[in-house]
Amino acid sequence: MFGYAGKILKVNLTNQRAEELPTSDYAERFLGGKGLAAKLYWDEMPPKAAAADPRSAVIFSTGPLAGAPGIGASRWMVSGKSPVSDPEHFVHCNLGGRWGNDLKAAGYDALMITGRSERPVYLFLHDGICEFKDANGLRGKGAIRTRRILKVEYGEGISVAAVGPAGESGAVMANVIAEDDASGSAGLGGVMGSKNLKAIVVPQGKLKIQMAYPEHFKQLAARYRALGKEPITAVAGVPMRIMGPNTRRAPCPLCSFDCIRRTYESKEGDAGKFMCQSAIFYRPMAEAIYGPDSDIPFRATKLCDEYGLDTMAVSVIIGWLWRCIRAGILNDQNTGLPLSKFGTIEFLDTLLHKISLREGFGELLAKGVHKAAESLGGKAVSALAPLVSKAGQENTYDARLYPNTALLHATEPRNPTPQLQEISRVIFKWLEWRRGEDGAFVSGEVARRIAARFWGSEIAADFTTFEGKALAAKMIQDREYAKECLILCSFVWPVMEARFTPDHVGDPTLEAQVLTAVTGREFDESSLNRVGERVFNLHRAILLREGHRGTADDRLPELWFTEPIKWDMPNPNLEVPGPNGQPVSRKGATVDRSAFEQSKKEYYRLRGWDPETGIPPEAALRALDLGDTAENLSQRRILP
C-alpha cells in the first residue's frame, strides 16, 4: 500500500497481549488519521463505557501522507472518549513533532490501547515487538522528566509520548505530552493515566514512505510553495511567533512551511517548544509582576507540560479564579491557594500541583472548572459564563462576533479548532489589510472570493447574517474531516488565500492531488470531501450511540443569545466584513436565536438528516457507504 505502513497494533493492557490488524481493512473507506480512529473506536468501544473504564479505547493514529516531505504532513492524532465533554463523548486531538512519524517508521499506521494494567507500565515498541515495561520508577514524575529518564536508559534515539502527574490522577484537563513538547488535549492524558499507562516509547526512525507517483508529488509540493501562503505571526499585536535571541525555529520533521513553531531557551538553560496560546496564556499576569523580559511565561508553559495539563484549560481556570477574587467569592483561606500572589510563578506552581495531585481545592478543579463553579453556585457560575463555550472549554471564535462559527460550535462535542480556524484565518488576514500592514492583500473583495470558492457563496463572508452559513459549515466540516484523515497541518492547509495567484484565492484541489500522487488512488476535490463527509457522519453516529440527542444537544451557550458581546482579545474592535465586504462592528451583537435555529434546519437538510431531529436516516448513511453503521443504529432504535 503506497503511503501506509500497512499495520495497526492493538494492545490490551489487562492481559498484556498485542495483535496486528491490516490497515487495508480500513483505508479504503476511511483513509487514516481521524477516519481510521473513528472506525476502530466504532468497532471496539462499548458505547456505555466511561472514559476511565478499562474497556475504553485510546487510539494513536497517523495518516497516509505522514512522511511526505515539505507539505506539513507530520501530524498525528490521539482519539478516545473524553472526560472534558459533558456528557463524555468521542473526540480527537491533533499533535505535531516527530512521535507520529516515528510510530509509522516503526511499522504502524495506528496504535489502539484498551484495558488497564494492574501496575504502572510503559510500552516499548521496537522490531515488531511490544514490550510491557515496569513504570513504577516513573510514577509521579513529570511528563518531560519521564522522557529524559527514558532517554538516559535507551539513549537519545527514541521518541516518547507520556503523561504527567495530572494524567496519573485522572484530571479531566490532562494532556499527552510527546517528543518536541507536542501536546494533545481533550483530557486524553487522563484516559491514558486511567489505564496505568505512563508512556509509549518508539525508536526514532527515518520515515520514507513509498509513493505511487513521486515525481508528480514533487511538482505538487512546488505548486504548494509557489502559492505563497504565509503564517499569522501576531494577532492584535500579540505575537504568536515568539522571536528573540533565545529562540530558534523548531518545525515539525520534513516540513518546509515558515511556521510559528519555535524553541525557547531560558537563562537557566532549559529549552522547549514556545508558541501560540501556550506561550502567552500567563504572560499578562507575569509581566505585571516581573516585567517584559523575564523567563516566567516560558516557565509557566513548561510547568503545564511537566504536570501534563492543558494550557487552554488552565487559562480558563486562572481567568475564573481572578473574577472570583474580585467578586469576593474566593480567597487564600477558603481555597488553600495563594491567591494573594496571583501572577507569580509560586501561585501557578501551587495551583498546578494541587490540581494534578487532586489536593484540597485542586480536587474540585481537577473535575473541570464548570463543575467547580457549579459546586459553588450563584456568583461563581456567573463569573465563569463569559469565559467558556461548552463544558468549561475556553470561549474562542465566539458566534456573537462570527456567526459563521455557530453551527461548527453547536454540532461538535468540544471546540473544533481546525474548523474554527478556517474562519479566523480569513478574518485575521482581513484585519491585517484593514490596518494597512505591509504586504496585506485579503481585502473585503478577496474575502468574498475566498468564501465563494471554499464556503459555497460570497455571502458566507458577510458576518452580519446567517445567510449562506449552513452550506459553509457543511463544506468546512467535510473538508476539515478529510484533511484530518490525511493528516495535514492546520497552519498550512487548506491553502485558502494565496499571495501569488491573480485573484489571491488559493487552491482547494491540492489535497486530493497530493493524496493521489502518494497513494495511487484517484481522488479529486469532490471525492476527497466525500470521505470527509463519510467520517463526519460516522462521528455523528458515534455521538448518537453514546447518547447525543440530535438537535437538542446541537446548541450554543445561552449567554451568546442574551448577553451582547463587548470585547474579544484577538479582535478588540470587533470588526468583521459585512455586506459587500465592507467593515462592520459587531459590538453589542448577540446570536439571533430564530436565525440560528433556521440555519440549523437548513444545515440538517443539506446533510440529508431529519430537519426536526438532526438525526441521519438510514438511507443517508447507506448513501455514504455506512450501511453497517446504519444497521447498528437501527437495531438500537436510534434512527428516525
Give the rounded percent of residues in the chain with a pLDDT score beyond 70.
100
The string of pLDDT tens digits covering residues 479-519 is: 999 999 999 999 889 999 999 999 999 999 999 999 999 99
| 376 in the same domain as 437 | no
Q: Total domain count for the chain?
A: 3
Instruction: Give the Cα separation of 72 and 96 in Å (integer).
Output: 10
**Predicted structure pTM score:** 0.97
Do residues 153 and 160 lie in contact, with contact meaning Cβ atoms separated by under 8 Å?
Answer: no
* Whether pLDDT at 233 is above 90: no
Most distant pair of Cα atoms in the chain: their distance: 67
Q: Which pLDDT belongs to residue 356?
A: 98
pLDDT, mean of residues 444-454: 98
Angle (CA) 199-202-204 rounded to 5° is 135
Do residues 52 and 190 lie in contact, with contact meaning Cβ atoms separated by under 8 Å?
Answer: yes
Instruction: Give the Cα separation of 223 and 97 in Å (integer).
Output: 24
> Is residue 91 helix, strand or coil?
strand
Q: What is the DSSP letter of 92?
A: E
| Residues in CB range of 85: below 8 A, 6 or more apart | 91, 186, 390, 391, 413, 414
Q: Is residue 212 part of a domain?
A: no
Mean pLDDT over all residues of the chain?
95
* Whether pLDDT at 608 is above 90: yes
| 432 in the same domain as 364 | no
CATH code at 65? 3.60.9.10
User: Which of 359, 387, 415 is a domain's end point?
Assistant: 387
Q: Is residue 299 part of a domain?
A: yes
Instruction: Give the Cα separation of 147 and 159 in Å (integer).
Output: 8
Instruction: Give the Cα separation of 406 and 425 in Å (integer).
Output: 16
| 197 in the same domain as 105 | yes
> What is the b/e burial string over 394-424, where b = at least 16 CB atoms within 10 angstroms of the residue's CB?
bbbbbbbbbbbbbbbbbbbbbbbbbbbbbbb
User: How many CB atoms sit inside 10 A of residue 445's CB?
Assistant: 15
Residue type, 301: T
Instruction: Give the Cα separation of 129 and 106 in Å (integer).
Output: 10
| 199 in the same domain as 85 | yes
- Which three cell numbers, joined as nine digits, stand for 66? 505522514
Where does the pLDDT of residue 280 fall: very low under 50, low under 70, confident under 90, or very high at 90 and above?
confident
Q: Is residue 630 part of a domain?
A: no
Q: Which pLDDT belongs to residue 240?
A: 75
Instruction: Concatenate the DSSP letters of all residues of 282-316 into one string.
Output: THHHHHHHH-TT-SHHHHHHHHHHHHTB-HHHHHH
The number of CA neighbours under 13 Å toward the Cβ of 196 is 18
* Whether pLDDT at 237 is above 80: no
Q: Is residue 413 part of a domain?
A: yes
Where does the pLDDT of residue 637 fall: very low under 50, low under 70, confident under 90, or very high at 90 and above?
very high
| 106 in the same domain as 14 | yes
| 439 in the same domain as 568 | yes
Q: Is residue 273 part of a domain?
A: yes
CATH code at 474? 1.10.599
Q: Which pLDDT belongs to residue 405?
A: 98
Do residues 177 and 164 lie in contact, with contact meaning Cβ atoms separated by under 8 Å?
Answer: yes
User: Which of 203, 222, 251 is a domain's end point?
Assistant: 203
pLDDT, mean of residues 173-178: 98
User: Which of 357, 387, 417 is a domain's end point?
Assistant: 387
Q: Is residue 542 part of a domain?
A: no
* Whether pLDDT at 207 is above 90: no
Q: Is residue 214 part of a domain?
A: no
**Alpha-carbon torsion (569, 572, 578, 580), positive or negative:** negative
Query: Is residue 203 exposed (0-12), middle (13-18) or buried (19+ Cβ within 10 Å)?
Result: middle
**Alpha-carbon torsion (26, 29, 31, 34), positive or negative:** negative
Q: Which pLDDT belongs to residue 108?
A: 98
| 445 in the same domain as 368 | no
CATH code at 379? 1.10.569.10
Query: Is residue 576 exposed (0-12), middle (13-18) or buried (19+ Cβ within 10 Å)?
Result: buried
Instruction: Give the Cα separation of 36 and 29 in Å (integer).
Output: 9
- Which three cell numbers, joined as nine digits, stand for 624? 455514504
Residue type, 324: C
The string of pLDDT tens digits covering residues 41-75 is: 999 999 999 999 999 999 999 999 999 999 999 99
Range of the domain at 469: 403-537+556-611
The string of pLDDT tens digits covering residues 382-413 is: 999 999 998 778 999 999 999 999 999 999 99
| 376 in the same domain as 450 | no
Three-state DSSP string of 17-31: EEEEEECHHHHHHHC
| 419 in the same domain as 378 | no
**Alpha-carbon torsion (557, 560, 566, 570), positive or negative:** positive
Instruction: Give the Cα separation of 609 and 616 in Å (integer).
Output: 4
Q: Is residue 631 part of a domain?
A: no
Q: Which residues are bridge partners to 77 per DSSP?
A: 61, 94
Could you tell me how far CA 8 lies from the centroid of its own chain?
23
Q: Which pLDDT belongs to residue 229?
A: 86
Of all residues in the chain, what percent are helix, strand and coil, respectively (each to 5)? 45, 15, 40
| 301 in the same domain as 441 | no
| 238 in the same domain as 196 | no
| 236 in the same domain as 195 | no
The string of pLDDT tens digits covering residues 345-360 is: 999 999 999 999 999 9
